[in-house]
Amino acid sequence: MTPRRGRGWPLWLVLVLLVLMHFYVRPRLYSGPGAPDFLLIALVIYSLRSRPGPAAVAGFITGIATDLLVPVRLGAGALAHTLVGYGTSWGRSVFFPDNLLVNGGMFALGVLLRNAVLLLLSGSGPAGLLQALAPGSLLQALTTAVAGTLVTLVIRHRVDFRLDE
């Protein structure tokens, strides 16, 4: 799981830049429900490069961090992000992680899964779930997929996404 030596950027630098973008660029860009989620992009990029166990731990840490910032039941974000991290890492073995369309789909499905779990654990019923997921989550999934695909295009030759096994 070591990146290519001698060229490119380390993965941790890309992840730190995405976290900074989430807290400094995103609120200035657009703070509505359709804003891209750079924390989820960082989680998916890390999960595409790691095994399911470490990806689930990274999702749990990301979820706890978001739970502290969002007024949702504590633990809902941790569970949602853990499922996204684990599912993305598992999906890497099924799909081709170097394909941009697959990466965009992983970003979009990650947002939809995370939002659905958050709404279910927050006490929304099935009607509230469908109503909340339809406009806001689809727009956020689209913008996150576009932003994540652009980030992947920029870093794909600089950060190695394959596991050394």
Closest by Cα among 148, 5, 146, 158 to 84: 148
Contact between 8 and 157 under an 8 Å Cβ cutoff? The reply is yes
The reported pLDDT for the residue numbered 77 is: 87
The reported pLDDT for the residue numbered 79 is: 93
Q: How far apart are CA 165 and CA 154, in angstroms?
A: 25
Q: How far apart are CA 144 and CA 148, in angstroms?
A: 6
The reported pLDDT for the residue numbered 3 is: 44
Non-local CB neighbours of 107 within 8 Å, separated by 6+ positions: 40, 41, 44, 141, 144, 145, 147, 148, 149
The reported pLDDT for the residue numbered 25 is: 79
Which pTM value belongs to this model? 0.82
Q: How far apart are CA 110 and CA 107, in angstroms?
A: 5
Closest by Cα among 61, 30, 62 to 146: 30
Q: Which residues of the chain have pLDDT under 50?
A: 1-7, 163-165
Q: How far apart are CA 70 and CA 112, in angstroms?
A: 17
